[in-house]
Amino acid sequence: RRPAYAEAHARVDTGRGDVDLSARTVQAAWNRRAIAVAAGERSYAIEVGSAIVRDRLGVLTAEATKTLVVTDRNVLAAHGSTLAAALPGAEPLELEPGEQHKTPRALEQIWRAALAHDLDRESTLVAFGGGVVSDITGFAAATWMRGTRWLAVPTTLLAMVDASVGGKTAVDLDDSKNSVGAFWQPAGVLCDIALLSTEPQRGFVSALSEVVKTALIGDPELLDLLEARADAVVARDPSSLIEIVLRSVAVKARIVSLDERESGLRRVLNLGHTIGHALEASTGYRCYTHGEAVSLGLVAALQVGQRLGVTSHPTSERVRGLLMRLGLPVELRANGLDDALAILGRDKKRQGTYIHFVMVSAPGRVETQLLPLEQLRRLAQLN
């Protein structure tokens, strides 16, 4: 029964003989809006709500021999009081913010901090920050003592709907994005939308491209919701945010549960990312945010899909219109696109001279084809 228990949303120890305590514990677990990522012994729950970090982070780290919180300077300035209330006495490690600092050097900083704090295999690393912090911290956890426990507390919308879920951890190597990493699932994720109140507007809006991507992959009702509530979502209406985070996480959790290590189905999550990642890398991670690059990557994927007869013109126009309503870029520039297409061969999804490319067949349905790199370059070029 152990593997089945491991995949539950929560586990309650009833061996203490206190029926009332067990009942209260079960009720509390039921009240948490948690989504389970079913991965056998590596299963974990993703909790979504408002102002949940102060109550839950201490509980999730209670059994660790030691806890090291990894964050960055900007996040600590904005949410240091929340972290201090959740983990009194914690001395977080501050990384330099930004994708350009997602490097092996940052990874070494965490290793050295773990060594200085005498972390063992029963210790816990906490990623308190955006996608960069989550990716680096998760990779550090995968490699420290050959694997230790870690928790994700995403502080950006992008990290909540993408980076903190699924166990993909990595650093960049020069212009090769996420080329060095490991699959290492967190022990838990806390998506506290109250933390989004201080996120800069550009970062928040750009993350909505990942939500659109998720809707296209597996939740057409989420696409309808985004169209109906676009203004409320951009204005950070709490109920709308909780709904889009829950729905996005549910889609990704379902896919990760079926394909933990990206051997097949999980490739669909790369919709918009093949050319999006190349756009980021070709501009030195300084021109676009990740979400902006994904938005442009989605536009390119729609174009490729149309040229191959996979994507209909109405579907393409519908998605472009929604991206524009959400404040995301949709106009590809020829010179920037040419530079991006030139480095597609460094993509992790490449197989020899071919690459797995994801296209939209209908809202909620995608199709992956193994395309020759040269054919993809031709199909993606602007007329």
Active-site residues, by number, are 146, 168, 210, 252, 262, 266, 270, 273, 277, 290
Pair of tokens at residue 329: 């870029």
The backbone torsions φ and ψ at residue 174, rounded to the nearest 5 degrees and listed phi first, read 55, -125
Cα(290)–Cα(158) distance, rounded to whole angstroms?
9
Q: Is 222 left (phi over 0), alpha (psi -120 to 50) or beta?
A: alpha
Cα(309)–Cα(367) distance, rounded to whole angstroms?
11
Pair of tokens at residue 118: 């005498």
Helix (H, G, I), strand (E, B) or coil at 86: helix
The strand order across the sheet containing 67-72 reads: 34-37, 44-49, 188-192, 149-154, 124-129, 67-72, 93-95
Cα(80)–Cα(128) distance, rounded to whole angstroms?
10
Cα(301)–Cα(138) distance, rounded to whole angstroms?
29
Which DSSP symbol is given to 1? -
Helix (H, G, I), strand (E, B) or coil at 351: strand
Helix (H, G, I), strand (E, B) or coil at 166: coil
Pair of tokens at residue 76: 């600590």
- Identify which of 121, 133, 197 has the alpha carbon closest to the alpha carbon of residue 164: 133
Cα(216)–Cα(223) distance, rounded to whole angstroms?
7
Beta-carbon count within 10 A of 286 CB: 9
Partnered with residue 170 across adjacent β-strands are: 181
